[in-house]
């Protein structure tokens, strides 16, 4: 299959420029194409920072805050280089502009192994970054924000600092090199001193330096410190003033509650809204078409949210369920995925040596099949979007991870130019990848449009119930994976063959979000389907790791950690199976495969040491025996190892007591936020490991709320200890990497405890 290299070959022909992916020249991501809006007394230095006459510093923020802490982390980075007074730093949202396009995540989507250091990879990365800077999107996701903006934020802060210094040098008639900047104040030995606010005007008029010197790590004053979240007070945590999408309150606001066809992708045959219209406060009952991969339904627009919710249940709808998913059954589909692996060998994402020959020569082989189900996101804040369409312009308030795409979607629905749409990104009550989609945004725009004329352009907040949200998601794809390992007579691992099967997300996204035709996108390999399987550090002597994309009528999307979320469970569990077959301790077995990967080995050994690996596992509080299981996984540039300590209740309920986590994420910008993200990833992954499953019958998602799709609760949450490995490497992601290792760590512990090897999720002992 030569298609893999078609695209990359043409890139190589373009020239051998070997700049690192992130190092576009400073000026290419510094200034927006239109001047940034400023308040009276405020000046913008570049696309990333504004300073007010009162000395407050606003970091222009193109990333969405969904709990992952990027607002704080990125503000720290800019503020450090700027030498700003941290208590005076705040966040302002960025407009839609090319300089804010996410480069890191697209570069990371190229199907290269992390170990690959060839010039082809670097050229591809550089050209991809350059292309995405022009035609890419603003996007928060893929654990990429810090990686994407570490250098641009630093450069922007250093640039503004240099301009402040130049202004002071001019005013004080002293050399710039003699001026010091600390906590928002510039000073000189002569006794001259001025705050940022006093110099801002003059500084903004200085020439933007073509070259800026960034700090050495030893000079950091904020970076590396566990500073509390910038937005906690602003979030009004504990005061009830935090502004999520669902909290938007605009003058004259109406509310729309929606019921969509229970069959994924189905339609509205007919509806009778006469009963619904009798509910006090109801304005209109309307049909809504599917947008951006969603499902059609009916909406009730009313003057209060309760009236809308109550009334929508009274609409009599005859559903037309003859959509592509109408006969789909998830159980049968899982069987079909497994059968696919009887004949298909998939697209090889990684190979080394001759795995078939190695398996033929092996003294013994071990085979196993693993599976994982579809999963829903279930952000705590259900999907919602507020749209006001008036006088040919629109304002949109949305908890979105993709403001530029949201803008395009609304513009399309309303039939207006994109620059007539103003998108305001709110706080997100959880994202996990759900808010990368614009289905609910297009729907909200259509509803606002439908009542615009008769309401004089009233803002309409469309919001989904928990059930509608669960049943109209873009699910984490199910997958089946088969492994065969070959061993020498001395029990050395000689061969590793792995082929998985499941839906590919990217072709669906390219169609429904970007409108690309199906024929164009089918067939190009989606790296996210195999990530976690092919891109890991183990030194297989001979290996082939492949994935067979299978087309199924389930809408699938990016769920926290994406392909890693199930591939890690498959891979780290089978590594343990191989260790067991070879008669080796799981730690020693892995260490032998990491001899050229000291960084990964260090993370694994740290987690093992934290957990007391090799010493007896302490009994649970009720006296039950516990056992430990480990997992090592690299994702989104970070290396994470976890050891879980697990026991069984008398009724075989799985209890996880403690999780020890070690993470190498490059330079740790804010250790507190990193720890929070490891805790977050672990709890999210553990919920999925113990309870997560979405069943689909006749195209209808069976689960709806937290009773039939449970999640981990307070009392069942393990204690979590996290150690961050010291590093001065480029920062990598932490939002998702905590999730992949927990399911296999627990499964491996269960094997050690009970002798039962669990090969499917959610975990349940026989």
Q: Footprint of another protein on this chain (CB under 8 A)?
A: 65-69, 228-229, 232-233, 235-242, 244, 246-247, 249, 255, 280, 304-306, 309-310, 378-382, 427-432, 463, 465-466, 672, 676, 679-684, 705-707, 711-715, 717, 719-720
Q: Which is nearer to another protein, 96 or 720 (CB)?
A: 720
Q: DSSP secondary structure string, 578-635?
A: HHHHTT--HHHHHHHT-TT-HHHHHHHHHHHHHHTTTSPPPPPTTS--EEEEEEEEEE
- The residues facing 346 across adjacent strands are none
Q: Which is nearer to another protein, 558 or 684 (CB)?
A: 684
| CA 205 to chain centroid | 39
In the complex with another protein, the residue whose CB is nearer, 72 or 508, is 72
Minimum gap (Å) between residue 403 Cβ and another protein: 18
Closest approach of another protein to the CB of residue 246, in Å: 7
Compare residues 465 and 508 and give the one whose CB is closer to another protein: 465
* Alpha-carbon span 513 to 475, nearest angstrom: 15
> Beta-carbon neighbour count of residue 418 at 10 Å?
14
Minimum Å gap between C-beta 733 and another protein is 16
State the nearest-atom distance from the C-beta of 475 to another protein, in Å: 16
> Smaller CB distance to another protein: residue 308 or 358?
308
Upper half-sphere CA count for residue 384 (Cβ side, 13 Å): 30
C-alpha to C-alpha distance for 743 and 372, rounded to whole angstroms: 11
Which tokens go with 735?
């939002």
Choose between 149 and 227: whose C-beta lies nearer to another protein.
Answer: 227
CA 759 and chain centroid, separation = 26
Q: Which residues fall within 8 angstroms of residue 201, CB to CB, at 6 or more apart? A: 43, 53
Q: Residue 199 carries which DSSP code?
A: H
Taking the complex as a whole, how short is the minimal distance between the CB of residue 231 and another protein, in angstroms? 8
Nearer to another protein, 592 or 711 (CB): 711
Least distance to another protein, CB of residue 69, Å:
7
Closer to another protein at the Cβ: 305 or 612? 305
Q: C-beta of 269: minimal distance to another protein in Å? A: 27
What does DSSP say about strands 57-61 and 89-93: parallel, antiparallel, or unpaired? parallel
DSSP per-residue codes, 342-365: HH---EEEEEES-HHHHHHH-SEE
Nearer to another protein by Cβ, of 16 and 233: the residue is 233
The nearest distance, CB 707 to another protein, in angstroms, is 6
Q: At closest approach, how far in Å is the CB of 104 from another protein?
A: 22
Taking CA atoms, 607 is separated from 37, 657, 684, in Å, by: 48, 15, 20
Residue number, 315 or 712, with CB nearest to another protein: 712
Question: From the CB of 647, what's the least distance to another protein, in Å?
Answer: 17
Report d(CA 447, CA 460) in Å as an integer.
8
Residue placing its CB nearer to another protein in the complex, 133 or 310: 310
Give CA–CA dist 494/361, Å, rounded: 9
What is the distance between the terminal CA atoms of the chain, rounded to a whole angstrom?
42
Q: Output the smallest distance, CB 526 to another protein, in A.
A: 26
To another protein, the closest distance from the beta carbon of 760 in angstroms equals: 23
Residue closer to another protein, measured from CB, 249 or 332:
249
Distance CA 66, CA 429 (A): 6
Local structure of 298: helix, strand or coil: strand
Question: Do β-strands 421-425 and 393-398 pair in parallel, antiparallel, or remain unpaired?
Answer: parallel
Measured distance CA(609)–CA(628) in Å, rounded: 12
**For 523, left (φ over 0), alpha (ψ -120 to 50), or beta?**
left
CB nearer to another protein: pick between 382 and 442 = 382
Query: Would you give the DSSP letter of residue 565?
Result: H
Minimum Å distance from CB 439 to another protein? 20
Sign of CA dihedral 535, 540, 541, 544: negative
The answer to whether 564 touches 531, Cβ cutoff 8 Å, is yes
As a residue count, the chain comes to 766
Tell me whether residue 248 or residue 441 sits nearer to another protein (CB atom).
Answer: 248
Least gap, CB of 278 to another protein (angstroms) = 12
Where does 92-184 have alpha helices with state H? 104-108, 119-135, 145-172
For 505, the enclosing helix (H) or strand (E) is: helix 505-512
Return all residues near 168 (Cβ < 8 A) that are at least 6 apart.
174, 176, 179, 186, 188, 192, 194, 199
């Amino acid at each position: 299959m030569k298609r893999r290299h078609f695209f990359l070959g043409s890139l190589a022909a373009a020239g051998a420029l070997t700049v690192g992916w992130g190092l576009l020249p400073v000026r290419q991501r510094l200034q927006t194409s239109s001047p940034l809006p400023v308040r009276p007394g405020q000046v913008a230095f570049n696309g990333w920072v504004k300073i007010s006459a009162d000395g407050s510093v606003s970091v222009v923020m193109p990333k969405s805050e969904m709990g992952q802490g990027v607002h704080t982390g990125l503000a720290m980075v800019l503020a450090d280089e700027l030498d700003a007074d941290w208590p005076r730093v705040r966040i302002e949202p960025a407009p839609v502009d090319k300089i804010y396009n996410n480069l890191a995540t697209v570069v990371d989507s190229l199907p290269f192994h992390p170990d690959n250091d060839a010039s082809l990879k670097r050229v591809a990365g550089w050209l991809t970054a350059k292309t995405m800077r022009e035609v890419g999107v603003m996007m928060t996701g893929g654990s990429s924000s810090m990686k994407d903006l570490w250098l641009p934020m630093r450069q922007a802060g250093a640039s503004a600092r240099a301009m402040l210094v130049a202004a002071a040098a001019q005013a004080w008639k002293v050399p710039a090199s003699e001026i010091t900047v600390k906590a928002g104040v510039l000073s000189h030995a002569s006794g001259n001193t001025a705050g940022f606010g006093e110099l801002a005007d003059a500084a903004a008029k200085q020439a933007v330096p073509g070259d800026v010197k960034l700090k050495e790590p030893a000079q950091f004053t904020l970076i590396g410190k566990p500073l509390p979240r910038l937005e906690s007070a602003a979030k009004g945590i504990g005061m009830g003033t935090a502004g999520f999408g669902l909290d938007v309150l605009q003058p004259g606001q109406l509310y729309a509650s929606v019921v969509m066809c229970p069959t994924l992708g189905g339609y509205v045959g007919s509806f009778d809204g006469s009963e619904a219209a009798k509910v006090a406060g109801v304005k209109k009952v309307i049909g809504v078409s599917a947008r951006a991969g969603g499902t059609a339904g009916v909406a009730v627009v009313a003057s209060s949210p309760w009236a809308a919710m109550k009334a929508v249940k009274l609409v009599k709808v005859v559903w037309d369920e003859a959509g592509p998913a109408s006969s789909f059954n998830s159980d049968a589909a899982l069987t079909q995925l497994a059968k696919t692996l009887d004949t298909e060998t998939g697209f090889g994402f990684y190979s080394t040596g001759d795995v078939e020959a190695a398996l033929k020569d092996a003294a013994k082989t071990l085979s196993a099949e693993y599976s994982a189900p579809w999963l829903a996101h279930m952000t705590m804040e259900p999907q919602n979007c507020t749209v006001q369409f008036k006088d040919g312009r629109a304002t949109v308030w949305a908890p979105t991870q993709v403001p530029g795409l949201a803008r395009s979607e609304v513009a399309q629905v309303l039939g207006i130019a994109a620059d007539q749409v103003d998108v305001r990104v709110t706080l997100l009550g959880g994202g996990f990848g759900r808010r990368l989609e614009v289905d609910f945004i297009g729907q909200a725009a259509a509803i606002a449009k439908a009542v615009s004329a008769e309401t004089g352009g009233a803002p309409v907040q469309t919001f989904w119930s928990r059930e509608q949200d669960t049943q109209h998601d873009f699910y984490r794809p199910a997958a089946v994976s088969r492994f065969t390992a070959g061993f020498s007579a001395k029990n050395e691992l000689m061969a590793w063959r792995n082929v998985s099967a499941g839906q590919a997300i990217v072709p669906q996204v390219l169609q429904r979000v970007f409108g690309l035709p199906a024929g164009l996108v089918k067939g190009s390999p989606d790296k996210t389907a195999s990530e976690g399987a092919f891109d890991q550090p183990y030194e297989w002597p001979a290996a082939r790791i492949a994935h067979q994309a299978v087309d199924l009528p389930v809408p699938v999307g990016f769920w926290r950690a994406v392909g890693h979320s199930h591939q890690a469970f498959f891979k780290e569990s089978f590594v343990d199976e191989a260790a067991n077959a070879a008669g080796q301790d799981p730690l020693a077995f892995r260490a032998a495969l990491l001899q050229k990967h000291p960084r990964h080995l260090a993370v694994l050994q740290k987690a093992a040491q934290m957990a007391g690996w090799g010493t007896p596992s302490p009994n649970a509080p009720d006296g039950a025996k516990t056992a430990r299981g480990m997992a090592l996984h690299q994702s989104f540039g970070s290396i994470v190892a976890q050891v879980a300590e697990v026991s069984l209740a008398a009724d075989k309920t799985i209890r996880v007591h403690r999780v020890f986590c070690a993470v190498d994420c490059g330079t740790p910008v804010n250790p507190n936020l990193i720890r929070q993200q490891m805790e977050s990833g672990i709890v999210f992954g553990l919920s999925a490991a113990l309870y997560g499953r979405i069943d689909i019958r006749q195209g209808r998602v069976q689960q709806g709320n937290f009773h039939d799709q449970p999640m981990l609760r307070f009392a069942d949450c393990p204690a979590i200890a996290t150690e961050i490995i010291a590093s001065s490497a480029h920062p990598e992601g932490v939002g998702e990497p905590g999730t992949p290792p927990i399911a296999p760590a627990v499964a491996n512990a269960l094997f050690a405890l009970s002798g039962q090897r669990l090969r499917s999720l959610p975990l349940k002992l026989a």
